[in-house]
Amino acid sequence: MNNDLGKKVKEIRISNHLTQDQVAKALRVTPGYISNVENNRSLMTLRMLTYYAQLTGMSLDYLAGAIDEDYKDTALDRELLSVMKDFSTEQKEKIIQMARIMKDF
């Protein structure tokens, strides 16, 4: 597992379709601070890391790197839910049908 917090913070930000400015505004810090974290020039405080975890829907354990390999499945579950949250009811019903079919394979 990669313990590079800056890289992880950046990857999560990008996967959530957030800019450094958006993250900075949400966390009430400067975009430069976010850039410094992503480039490993600064570390987030525990409080800031907690806020970032809440903002991105990730667990604090995942961000800190103190997790076991089973968390990858949970992270995939969260990502799937995140992608589907904006789907229409009809789209969600179709996804459920497809998932039930795929489960049998």
Q: What is the pTM of this model?
A: 0.59
Q: Which is more confident, 67 or 102?
A: 102
Q: Give 56-61 contacts, CB < 8 A, sequence gap 24+.
A: 56/12, 56/13, 56/16, 56/18, 57/16, 57/82, 58/12
pLDDT in tens, 78-98: 788 888 888 999 999 999 999
Among 18, 37, 39, which residue's Cα sits nearest to residue 29?
Answer: 37
Alpha-carbon distance of 29 to 4, in angstroms, equals: 21
Q: Tell me which residue of 47, 18, 48, 46 sits closest to 33, measured CA to CA.
A: 48
